[in-house]
Chain A
Amino acid sequence: MSATETPAAPGVYIGQRVPRKEDARLLTGKGVYVDDVSVAGMLHVAFHRSPIARGNIKSIDLSVAKQLPGVHAVLIAADLARYKVDMLSFFLAAPVVPVPVLAIDCVRYVGDPIAIIIAEDRYIAEDAAGLITVVYDEEDPVVTMDEAKTGALVHPQTDSNIAAATGTEDPDEELEALLNNAPHLETVEFKHQRIAQSPMETRGVVSAPQGAEELTIYLSCQGPQLNARWFAQAFGMPQTSIRVISKDVGGSFGLKGQPWREEVATVLASMLLKRPLKWIEDRLENLTSACQAREQEIKLRAAFDKEGNLIASHAEYSINNGAYPQGADSNIAVMMFIWGAHKLPKFDFYSRGWFTNTVGLSAYRGPWAIESLTREVLLDRAARKLGIDAVELRKRTLLRREDQPCTTNMGLELEDISPAECLDVLLTKVDVTAFRIEQAEARKQGRYLGLGIATYIEPTAGSTGIAVLISESAHIRIEPTGKISAVVSTHSQGHGTQTTMAQVVAETLGVKFDDVSIHEDDSSRGGYGSGAYGSRQAVAGGGACIGAAKLLVDKIKKAAAHLLNTTPENISMREGIITVSGDKPQSVTLRDLADIAYGEPERLPEGMEAGLEVQFRYRPPPITMTSAAHACIVEVDADTGFVKIKRWVSSEDCGVMINPSVVEGQIAGGLAQGIGSVLMEQVSFDARGNPTAVTYKDYMLPTIFDVPTFEYNHDASMPSKADGGFRGVGEGGCIVGPPTLVNAIADALAPFGEIKLEFPMTPTRLLAHIEGRPEIAEHAKPVVAPVPEPTVATTPTVAPVQNVFSPSAPQEQIAAPAAVQIDGNWKFVLSTPLGPQAFTGRMSTDGNNLTGVFIMNMDEAHFTGTFKGNHLVWDLKVTKPMKITLKYEAHIDGDKLLGKCKMGIFGTAKLVGERIP
């Protein structure tokens, strides 16, 4: 039976609301989070951090701090320099600009760690942190993206503040004509505020070196396997010597995908001091020095015909990368999914990530979520102007199941998305007509009700193109006791994978759920996996458990058939009882079989390995799509601007559910975070880059009164193509929540005109809109006047932005002297949407012809092209992750090469090269 034929009907365990295995320990205070770990001889760590956003360090005085009783050591970058550490991105790629573990000569954001203090307890360590004196030569910081576009270079060694870019800067004239000549052009433009992921457990690490060969790291993280691999690669140590243990984790939401500066500094200090060290981030550090997310600006234009069909669209997008992002990013996923579920003939985009003097960018649940917010708000606005019902407009533009398989204009291959079908189901639960009557009545009474609807698709469990996110592993063994242990490369930070993976194993094996234990907390057990990342655990981890369990079932049947004088087809197992069908039913327990498999293997079939254990690595389909449509009803108080969410209904296609309670928990949690981002959450800075939301009194999180009771509907669910038919649900709520709520607020306040898209939509802001007055600035900050893209520096202190994609750049270089040395060996860095890729190559010339080869990961790619003077062009055909012809253009200046690579739908990437011997 193929996966698509798998019935969605609940199994014995799959599809059941099985109580969680984790709860017994977590409810009784017996969970083991990283701060609960103590190692003999352990000392405690605090950091001295920069109080300014940008400046050069003139001097550091550690003498007073070192003399404080109880202080063991105070270390700065120079002390840790004996270890060579290459900080890496989540994708295990080198960063665009080197990330120092501790600040070296300069500081780049408020909170930049300068010194690590090791003391008997955290109180003393913090005392000592306050006794360090650093003298700075302070400089004006670049805080906002507007400032980044025109201000000084955040990293002087770069040629611009663009950390990453994709898409095409040059307007596509054909597309512009379509947009400008269409019957209706709708434009949505707004800034999204910065968000702190805010797991209730902050980051933390206990590093316990056990001699030169062994290093045990207890870490609050999203996956011990990936984090162990990260440490091994970043430290240049063989992975076998690094063991990451991570039992219970108090939420991550993208923040704990990889170790970062403080964790690394703690580990290095523990190696240097040869003592176990503990660093537990406090909330002040978490809100100021942990990487953050979501600070973006977007302009989306979409052209419609009179019937509401999409003609063309263009998106321009920027994201604040901070000073040291966990992977410089221009967020290609925004562009992949902004119209990923819609019928749209033509689309183009330009995306940039910007360096600023703020703490770096990392992941946050649905990192590309702004695509849904922008699109769904645009559709509602267009609907109002076109005089078409907003639901109807979605029905006209969304792809339906019968339109698939198809490929979007961003190269996304779709076969089973169903947001339109989810919307159909949603509309059976939400009576829009009745609501409109209620809304009209309420307005007569001065009450403002609004209905918001949004749909989205969520890419889950991707398994192609990103080397760290390909497959997941499951090792299952029947213990000699007859109980089942499974080591899976999933990792729960509240996901409940110890329960859901046990459900899958128990169902597939035919054993009792209570007899299955799932282990996922130790990188030294089991195989590589990324843990909780990209909504992949149900699909990829579940598939691995199914695959391993099936192998084990085969072995059990063969062994039992041999022992019971029958054939494997006659053997079945249920609740751990192995039964022979036929005239003389016989049964043995799994325990009996395990006794023989481990204790008397000579009784097993000839050649069968002793014991009962298997392993399986599952690579799911390239991408598994989850779809949904949500509706919410709000009332906005016209006297206070307060938003009350009165009802929220979701309708999803989440495939086969392993545990509906867990699925709904993920949806609810994501929605609550989405509500927070719309109504209250905001990381803010003053003009000097000082964080101004540094406690949970300033950074407001949703409480029980801000989140309504959610109604779920799973009727639109169809099994996915993945083994088990599962789909991921980890991020969707956080993606669809914001547009659903914003559309409801906009609908409620429509009598006052279109609301301004300013986030968060605080009562103050909404009241200003209702009362028709300019908003009082919530954060006193000088307004930075928009400066046109400069071609020359406007003031002597502002460095000109050198745009590497400027078409004029190569032309200027053509005029350079013709005697250019092209032939020889080169090293290159290509800034791809997945982060920089480094490789080497050779080029040689003959006449005006150019030939060459790129060498990466023992793979060679040959190309041919032409050159004129120092201007080179060549094409390179690749097949992974998709078939695409990369069009390169570059110029050589001495031993340096600067150019660009057009990557089809992925836009243009920067190429830099350097001659090597």
Chain B
Amino acid sequence: MSQHQINLTINGRPHCSTVEGRLTLSDFLRGDAGYTGVHVGCEHGVCGACTVIVDGNAVRSCLMLAVQADGSKITTVEGLAADDGTLHPVQQAMKDECALQCGFCTPGIVMTLTALTNCANKPSGDTLVQAMSGHICRCTGYQGIKRAAMKLGGDAA
């Protein structure tokens, strides 16, 4: 197995690690780096639960290898809330709108919404709902997720 040294920043902290070439970014973030908020739901890029932000973009970490993240800046769901525990606006909107039940798909949804709402051109609620089509939630019927996305886009739910 090929071993590769990678240097990257996760949630503002530098990480240096040696990984196998075939290790997925999701398994690296969960196992080696300890960010278990990254959830692996399908391992083939459909469900979106493993979404993290890599250099500003929402990325399915099950479809990316850890070595490909060398030199990048990564944010996981653990990196969003303020130090004093104040929730990120996306997390707060999800909570206010009852947008989660079991919580397994939640981190991925939060990361996609965060990546998009961080963009310079602020997306509309409809755009955010559109982006949610890439996430599967089996519990909620998407009711609260839709409301949270609309709210974050500045639209009434």
Stretch from A229-237, A606-614, A704-712 at the B interface: A704-712
Closest B residue, CB atoms, query A30: B37
The listed residue (A29, A32, A200, A710) touching B105 by CB distance below 8 A is A200
Which residues of chain B in 75-133 are interfacial with respect to chain A, using CB atoms and an 8 Å cutoff? 76-78, 80-81, 87, 91, 94-96, 98, 100-107, 110, 129, 132-133
How many Å lie between the Cα of A668 and that of B137 in the bound state? 12
Please tell me if the beta carbons of A22 and B78 are within 8 angstroms of each other in the complex: no
Please tell me if the beta carbons of B98 and A661 are within 8 angstroms of each other in the complex: yes
- B140 at interface (Cβ–Cβ under 8 A)? yes
Q: Shortest beta-carbon distance, A914 to chain B, in Å?
A: 45
How many Å lie between the Cα of A493 and that of B22 in the bound state? 32
Which residues of chain B in 122-157 are interfacial with respect to chain A, using CB atoms and an 8 Å cutoff? 129, 132-133, 135-146
Please tell me if the beta carbons of A29 and B38 are within 8 angstroms of each other in the complex: yes
How many Å lie between the Cα of A221 and that of B132 in the bound state? 28
Give the chain A neighbours of B100 by CB distance below 8 A: 23, 26-27, 494
Please tell me if the beta carbons of A29 and B104 are within 8 angstroms of each other in the complex: no
Q: Which of A123, A249, A284, A710 has the most CB of B within 10 A?
A: A123
- B73 at interface (Cβ–Cβ under 8 A)? no
Please tell me if the beta carbons of A665 and B143 are within 8 angstroms of each other in the complex: yes
- A701 at interface (Cβ–Cβ under 8 A)? yes
Closest A residue, CB atoms, query B1: A123
- B59 at interface (Cβ–Cβ under 8 A)? no
A-B pairs under 8 A by CB, number:
164
The listed residue (A17, A28, A123, A282) touching B80 by CB distance below 8 A is A28
Give the chain B neighbours of A33 by CB distance below 8 A: 36, 39, 104
How many Å lie between the Cα of A201 and that of B136 in the bound state? 12
Please tell me if the beta carbons of A283 and B44 are within 8 angstroms of each other in the complex: yes
How many Å lie between the Cα of A32 and that of B104 in the bound state? 10
Known: A200-B138, A251-B139. A494 touches B103 (CB 8 A): yes
Please tell me if the beta carbons of A35 and B101 are within 8 angstroms of each other in the complex: no
Give the chain A neighbours of B55 by CB distance below 8 A: none
Give the chain B neighbours of A253 by CB distance below 8 A: 138
Give the chain B neighbours of A201 by CB distance below 8 A: 39, 41, 102, 104
Give the chain B neighbours of A707 by CB distance below 8 A: 141-143
Known: A200-B137, A696-B47. A28 touches B78 (CB 8 A): yes
Please tell me if the beta carbons of B142 and A28 are within 8 angstroms of each other in the complex: no
What are the interface flags for B39-61 relative to A under an 8 Å C-beta threshold, 1 for contact and 0 otherwise? 11111101101000000000000
Please tell me if the beta carbons of A697 and B101 are within 8 angstroms of each other in the complex: no
Q: Shortest beta-carbon distance, B130 to chain A, in Å?
A: 9
- A695 at interface (Cβ–Cβ under 8 A)? yes
Give the chain B neighbours of A621 by CB distance below 8 A: none
Please tell me if the beta carbons of A23 and B102 are within 8 angstroms of each other in the complex: no
Of the four ranges (under 10, 10 to 19, 20 to 34, 35 or more), the interface on chain B belongs to 35 or more
Give the chain A neighbours of B22 by CB distance below 8 A: 123
- A605 at interface (Cβ–Cβ under 8 A)? no
Closest B residue, CB atoms, query A660: B98
Please tell me if the beta carbons of B77 and A251 are within 8 angstroms of each other in the complex: no
Give the chain A neighbours of B23 by CB distance below 8 A: 123
The listed residue (B42, B102, B137) touching A248 by CB distance below 8 A is B102
Q: Shortest beta-carbon distance, A371 to chain B, in Å?
A: 22
Please tell me if the beta carbons of A251 and B142 are within 8 angstroms of each other in the complex: no
Closest B residue, CB atoms, query A32: B36
- A664 at interface (Cβ–Cβ under 8 A)? yes
How many Å lie between the Cα of A711 and that of B38 in the bound state? 33
How many Å lie between the Cα of A104 and that of B31 in the bound state? 34
How many Å lie between the Cα of A532 and that of B53 in the bound state? 35
How many Å lie between the Cα of A746 and that of B44 in the bound state? 36
How many Å lie between the Cα of A673 and that of B141 in the bound state? 8
Give the chain A neighbours of B49 by CB distance below 8 A: 200
Q: Shortest beta-carbon distance, B93 to chain A, in Å?
A: 10
Give the chain A neighbours of B145 by CB distance below 8 A: 704
Please tell me if the beta carbons of B35 and A29 are within 8 angstroms of each other in the complex: yes
Which residues of chain B in 14-44 are interfacial with respect to chain A, using CB atoms and an 8 Å cutoff? 20, 22-23, 30, 35-44
22 contacts between A and B (CB under 8 A): A19-B96, A26-B100, A27-B91, A27-B100, A28-B37, A29-B35, A29-B36, A29-B37, A32-B36, A33-B36, A35-B36, A199-B138, A200-B105, A200-B138, A248-B102, A251-B138, A282-B43, A665-B144, A696-B47, A697-B44, A704-B133, A707-B142
| Extra inter-chain contacts (9) besides given A29-B76, A704-B135, CB under 8 Å | A26-B102, A27-B100, A28-B37, A200-B105, A249-B102, A669-B101, A669-B140, A671-B141, A696-B46
Closest 8 CB pairs of A and B: A29-B37, A250-B104, A26-B103, A494-B102, A494-B101, A672-B141, A668-B141, A29-B77
